[in-house]
């Protein structure tokens, strides 16, 4: 992952918005059926953190699929 110089997670102290695809991903609870949401490939948790900021009562389940991130 690091070898590709990709950004895998963002958390700013002064704003909840990332100005990246995570902001769009966080809008999904508004259009999916009510109930728990699974995130496969949790990474650094940017998507989960942002979703819970916008939807505090949301039930999230997350799994990381890359062993090196889970260490």
Q: What is the pTM of this model?
A: 0.75
* Phi and psi at residue 8, to the nearest 5°: -105, -15
Are 50 and 22 within 8 A, CB to CB? yes
| Residues above pLDDT 70, as percent of the chain | 89
Cα 70 from Cα 63, distance rounded (Å)? 9
Between CA 41 and CA 29, with CA 5 as vertex, the angle to 5 degrees is 30
pLDDT of residue 43: 82
pLDDT tens-digit series, residues 24-35:
888 888 888 888
* Look-up of token digits 């009562």: 57
């Amino acid at each position: 992952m690091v070898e590709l110089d990709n950004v895998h997670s963002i958390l700013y102290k002064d704003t909840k918005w990332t100005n990246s695809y995570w902001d769009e991903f966080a809008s999904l609870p508004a259009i999916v059926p009510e109930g728990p949401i699974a995130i496969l490939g949790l990474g650094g948790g940017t998507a989960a953190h942002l979703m819970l900021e916008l939807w505090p009562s949301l039930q999230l389940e997350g799994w990381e699929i890359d062993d090196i991130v889970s260490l």
